[in-house]
Amino acid sequence: MSRLKKVLYVTAALVVFVTVFILDVIRHAVSFDLDGILFIREGAIIGALFLLYLSIRAAHAEHPVGIPKNIGKLLIYSVLVLFLASLVSFVGRGTTVPEGTMTPPQAALASLVSVVFGVVLGLFSISALLTIKDLLLHKRRKGTKRNFILYVIALLLSSLTVLPLIPSELSVVSSVLFAVAVVMIVVNSFKQNWIVYLSRREKLYSIVYSALLFLTFVGLSLLMTQNPVSRALDTFHLPLRNFAQLNAIFGAVYFGMAFISTLFHLPTAEVYERKQSELTSLHNLSRLVTQVFDFTDLVNTVTAMTLEVVGARSAWLELIREQGINGRVAVDVVSNRNISPEQIELITASDESSLRQYVLDSKRALLIDDIRNDRRTKHITKSGVTVGSLLSVPLISHGEPIGFLHATKDFEFGFDQDDIDVMTTFADHVTIAIENSKLIAKSLERERYQQEMMVAQQMQKRLLPQRLPKHPTLEIAAVSEPSLEVGGDYYDFVQLRGDRLGVVVGDVSGKGVSAAFYMAEVKGIFQSLSKICDSPRELLLRANQSLMESLERKAFISLLYGIIDIPKGILTLARAGHCPMIYISGLNAQMIRPTGIGLGLTHEQIFEETTQETAIQLQKDDLCIFYTDGLNESRNGAGEEFGFERLVQAALGARYLSAEQIKEMILTEIRNHTGDSAYGDDMTLVVIKWLGHGEG
Amino acid sequence: MSEFKIHHRSGEGVSVIDLKGYLDAHTAPELENALQKLIEEKKFNIVVNCKDLSYISSAGLGVFMAYIEDVRKNRGDIKLTNMSPKVYNVFDLLGFPILYEIYKDEQDAIKKFQDARSVQS
């Protein structure tokens, strides 16, 4: 309800009451009878009370407080009202002046008393009814609300039938309705479900409050039946008296019953409180599921909570490592409290069969009430384990056991059915929490891995030439397409003394970050050595020397290095385990494959003995094609490789085009071959077309 | 794509590893484990039969490099046999025939081991 509405309602009600007050003063002083005015007066009061009801209900709903506090508040109100009623009773004692003959001050006082007390009692009755309604409907059952509504209907009807305008013949009806309301009061007063859910402390409060409320309501009921309170009420509004009286009876009966019920419930308070703490622990764990990401924290919290949940002496959590041979399980104790790993081993493992096996076979909780006299734990008697009873529950994820949660107590028969239920439920939560924590760890790892990959990819991209060298006598086209991950393909160009151009293509074994690092190393070596070494073979020998020291044993690098002497048109080539160069001269295609071992595979002597160098005199329009094995090994859906044959044919078919176009043609051919299947490896292609010096 | 499989035989003082399918970065650790195990068991006379090996990548080649030194230090060897021409080509490109003994048939390799032993004794 909006603030404005509330203010409007209360103001309207106040205006009505003030008007009634003025009217009453006049009525007391000057005796006159006018049914019309009386009719309006009664109607206005009912309307005003209804507006007050709406305001109180809204306030009630907007500021909900706990049950004991609510009752406490009602108690304060009731004591105040009782006090006011006593005051009215005291002030109005022995003053019986016939109507219409009062002096103006007398009339004013009487009217004031009747209106103020009437309004206060009305407010209180409404508030009491709402409070009782809340208690009644707490954990309500099917008929609860219906019974309450029946009472309210009887209450309202019985109140309305006593309106002065109603013919007196209906007083029988009124009495019947009153009786019905009283019956409904008794029926409703049996609904005391709220008491069960109170804590022990709250129950103690509730006992005192109920007792006091019972007394004040009884007091109010009695006062209302007697002059001058009854007279003051009657002169204000007859139905209100009926309404307040019934509600006072309701209050007395209801809180009387509440007092007795609470008294009976007091012994069970402890049990209830334990349940409550179990529930709270379970709830806490479910919250932990989303909060504890760290595995160690999680499992330690689990054992700590196990102690709490079932009040155990010791607890430990085991996760299954693997399904061992002969169906025996190997477990890791990931967290233990108040028990040593040696003791755990003593308790759970026996020669013939492990306790875990019992749990695994049944996939249910295992309870051993008396460890010393149970046939499943005979082995324990001999050892010095001071455990009375044991409860073990499996952690089951998707039907598969992933571990066990154990709890022990020092004495026999320490666990009851409730403990089993709670531990089983608890174990379910634990399972989810553990699975979650594993998933999170995995996804974190993947994220980290992806980040590393991204760094490596960027690094790799920057290691490749950002632009190709331009020369009037040759065309160069190059492409390097990394696979999904980071690969180890490398190509580079270097301008050398004497108008010579160095071209290198290489492949670092392995993938990922390490490949990217090796590639960086190779680039460094190549860039520095190429300036010093005059021949490709010399560079490979020196590169092998330095890489042998730094590469890990299973890593190696293949390299194909050529130097084009531009004035002479001679290509000198050396190969270190790399794919041969494809040389196309006219219609003739050749694999240029000087012998040579991959870098980092063997020490200098064998390497030096093996590595050879070859030289080619280039003719106009000759093609030199450097590439990595990712290119010829590109597979289609059927697993068939692109192969050297197709590569050579593609190059031959496009030999009259520009280097750039030849490169594109080869890539197109590869894509046609592989179809939708993604490239398995990264691939690199460098096409050099010798244009010559215009002599052709 | 055929899966990678390792089969293990031993006898006459020689351990034979049969490779099958694709040996690449994903399957290389399996071969690594197999070799590691042989070395731990002090079985240094190793023949790797590549009859059913349909593909080998650089990561696969690297596995042999990782263990050859240990094996040779212990007077053993890793000999490769029964390669298909395609697989041989990959080994050959990289210069492996210079570093490893590669035989057409497994028996040749085993015989070689036995001969070497009789020479020693």
Q: Which of B57, B59, B99 sits opposite A602 (nearest CB)?
A: B99
Burial class (CB in 10 A: 0-12, 13-18, 19+), A429: buried
Residue of A284, A351, A341 whose CA lies nearest to A316: A341
Q: Which residues of A touch B59 (CB under 8 A)?
A: 509-511
Residue of A490, A453, A442, A463 whose CA lies nearest to A599: A490
Burial class (CB in 10 A: 0-12, 13-18, 19+), A34: exposed
Q: How many residues does chain B have?
A: 121
Q: What percent of chain A has pLDDT over 90?
A: 28
Q: Which of A555, A602, A681 sits opposite B62 (nearest CB)?
A: A555
Closest chain A residue to B56, measured at CA: A633
CB-based contact (8 Å) between A601 and chain B? yes
d(CA A68, CA A76): 12
d(CA A602, CA A442): 39
Question: Which positions 475-534 of A are in contact with B (Cβ < 8 Å)?
Answer: 507, 509-511
What the block records as the tokens of A613 is 């160098």
Give the confidence band of A494 by pLDDT, cuts at 50, 70, 90. very high
Q: Which residues of A touch B99 (CB under 8 A)?
A: 597, 601-602, 606
DSSP per-residue codes, A428-472 = HHHHHHHHHHHHHHHHHHHHHHHHHHHHHHHHHHHHS-SS---BT
pLDDT in tens, A88-145: 888 776 665 555 566 777 777 878 888 888 889 899 999 999 888 888 887 777 788 8
Partners of residue B48 on adjacent β-strands: B17, B80
pLDDT in tens, A189-205: 888 888 877 777 888 88
Give the confidence band of A290 by pLDDT, cuts at 50, 70, 90. low
Contact B102, B88 (CB under 8 A): yes
How large is the average pLDDT for residues A469-493? 86
When scoring B35, B90, B93, B99 by the number of chain A Cβ atoms within 10 A, the one with the most, hence best to mutate, is B93
Closest chain A residue to B54, measured at CA: A639
CA distance B95 to chain A (A): 4
When scoring A507, A509, A519, A682 by the number of chain B Cβ atoms within 10 A, the one with the most, hence best to mutate, is A509
Look at residue A381 and tell me whether its pLDDT is greater than 80.
Answer: no
Q: For residue B12, how many other CB atoms are within 10 A of its CB?
A: 12
pLDDT in tens, B12-34: 788 999 999 888 878 888 899 88
d(CA A412, CA A391): 11
Look at residue A37 and tell me whether its pLDDT is greater than 90.
Answer: no
Name the one residue in this structure whose structure tokens are 């015989």.
Answer: B111
Q: For residue A358, how many other CB atoms are within 10 A of its CB?
A: 15
Partners of residue A318 on adjacent β-strands: A333, A404
Query: What pLDDT shows up at residue A553?
Result: 82
Q: What percent of chain A has pLDDT over 70?
A: 91
d(CA A449, CA A365): 40
Dihedral class, residue B54 (left if φ above 0, else alpha if ψ from -120 to 50, else beta): alpha
Stated as kind and residue range, the H or E segment containing A20 is helix A3-29
Residue of A557, A564, A547 whose CA lies nearest to A578: A557
d(CA A641, CA B57): 13
Query: What pLDDT shows up at residue B1?
Result: 43
CA angle B17, A681, A544 (to 5 degrees): 75
Fold of B5-109: Transcription Regulator spoIIAA (3.30.750)
d(CA A234, CA A244): 12
CA distance B15 to chain A (A): 22
d(CA A434, CA A319): 10
How large is the average pLDDT for residues A259-287? 77
Contact A182, A221 (CB under 8 A): no
Q: Which of B59, B90, B99 sits opposite A509 (nearest CB)?
A: B59
DSSP per-residue codes, A616-629 = EE--TT-EEEEE-H
Q: What are phi and psi of A558, to 5 degrees?
A: -100, 145
d(CA B11, CA B80): 17
Closest chain A residue to B92, measured at CA: A577
Look at residue A672 and tell me whether its pLDDT is greater than 60.
Answer: yes
Closest chain A residue to B86, measured at CA: A643
* Cα A561 to Cα A204, A540, B4, distances in angstroms: 93, 8, 34
Q: Which residues of B touch A579 (CB under 8 A)?
A: 93
How large is the average pLDDT for residues A255-266? 88
What the block records as the tokens of A518 is 């090796």
Low-confidence ranges of chain B (pLDDT < 50): 1
d(CA A112, CA A232): 10
Stated as kind and residue range, the H or E segment containing B79 is strand B77-81
Contact A651, A600 (CB under 8 A): no
How large is the average pLDDT for residues A568-597? 94
Residue of A228, A30, A220 whose CA lies nearest to A114: A228
Instruction: Report CA A69 to chain centroid distance, whole Å.
Output: 33
Closest chain A residue to B96, measured at CA: A597
- Cβ A595–B95 below 8 Å, yes or no? yes
Query: What pLDDT shows up at residue A102?
Result: 64
- Cβ B58–A507 below 8 Å, yes or no? yes
- Cβ A509–B61 below 8 Å, yes or no? yes
How large is the average pLDDT for residues A15-28? 82
Dihedral class, residue A522 (left if φ above 0, else alpha if ψ from -120 to 50, else beta): alpha
R_g of chain B computed on alpha carbons:
13
CB-based contact (8 Å) between A681 and chain B? yes
Give the confidence band of A651 by pLDDT, cuts at 50, 70, 90. very high
Query: What pLDDT shows up at residue A523?
Result: 93
Q: Which of A558, A606, A639 sits opposite B94 (nearest CB)?
A: A558
Q: Which of A510, A596, A598 sits opposite B59 (nearest CB)?
A: A510
Stated as kind and residue range, the H or E segment containing A33 is none
Q: Which residues of B touch A597 (CB under 8 A)?
A: 94-95, 98-99
How large is the average pLDDT for residues A73-86? 90
Contact A623, A687 (CB under 8 A): yes
Dihedral class, residue A91 (left if φ above 0, else alpha if ψ from -120 to 50, else beta): alpha
d(CA A491, CA A579): 13
Pairing of strands A613-617, A389-397: unpaired
CB pairs under 8 A between A and B: 59
Q: Which residues of A touch B53 (CB under 8 A)?
A: none
CB-based contact (8 Å) between A579 and chain B? yes
Give the confidence band of A255 by pLDDT, cuts at 50, 70, 90. very high
CA distance B96 to chain A (A): 7
> Which residues of chain B have a Cβ shorter than 8 Å from any chain A Cβ?
1, 25, 57-59, 61-63, 65-66, 69, 90, 93-95, 98-99
d(CA A200, CA A106): 53
Q: For residue B115, how many other CB atoms are within 10 A of its CB?
A: 10
- 3-state class (DSSP) for residue A349: coil
Look at residue A597 and tell me whether its pLDDT is greater than 60.
Answer: yes
Q: Which of A576, A601, A610 sits opposite B65 (nearest CB)?
A: A601
Contact A462, A516 (CB under 8 A): no
Q: Which residues of A touch B25 (CB under 8 A)?
A: 510-511
What the block records as the tokens of A279 is 């529930």
d(CA A491, CA A504): 5
How large is the average pLDDT for residues A134-157? 84
CB-based contact (8 Å) between A42 and chain B? no
What the block records as the tokens of A296 is 């160690």
Contact B90, B61 (CB under 8 A): yes
Dihedral class, residue A586 (left if φ above 0, else alpha if ψ from -120 to 50, else beta): left
CB-based contact (8 Å) between A551 and chain B? no
Residue of A28, A37, A34, A35 whose CA lies nearest to A100: A28
Q: Which of A510, A602, A629 sits opposite B62 (nearest CB)?
A: A510
- Cβ A601–B99 below 8 Å, yes or no? yes
Please give the DSSP secondary-structure letter assigned to residue B4.
P
CA distance B94 to chain A (A): 4
CB-based contact (8 Å) between A554 and chain B? yes
Q: Is the peptide bond before A164 cis (omega within 30 degrees of 0)?
A: no
What the block records as the tokens of B103 is 């035989």
Cα within 13 Å of Cα(A608), Cβ side: 7
Note the CATH number of domain A464-690.
3.60.40.10
CATH for A292-441 (3.30.450.40, 3.40.50.920, 3.90.1580.10, 3.40.50.300): 3.30.450.40
Question: Which positions 387-446 of A are in contact with B (Cβ < 8 Å)?
Answer: none
- Cβ B98–A606 below 8 Å, yes or no? yes
Contact B13, B121 (CB under 8 A): no
Look at residue A687 and tell me whether its pLDDT is greater than 90.
Answer: yes
* Cα B100 to Cα A30, A63, A164, A209, distances in angstroms: 132, 87, 121, 96
Pairing of strands A683-690, A474-481: antiparallel
DSSP per-residue codes, A137-171 = TTT--TTHHHHHHHHHHHHHHHHHTT-TTS-GGGH
Q: Which of A554, A629, A639 sits opposite B63 (nearest CB)?
A: A554
Query: What pLDDT shows up at residue A503?
Result: 96
Look at residue A40 and tell me whether its pLDDT is greater than 50.
Answer: yes
**Extents of the domains making up chain A:** 3-271, 292-441, 464-690
Query: What pLDDT shows up at residue A356?
Result: 82
Give the confidence band of A696 by pLDDT, cuts at 50, 70, 90. very low
Closest chain A residue to B55, measured at CA: A633
The average confidence (pLDDT) of chain A is 84
d(CA A248, CA A234): 16
Q: Which residues of B touch A606 (CB under 8 A)?
A: 98-99
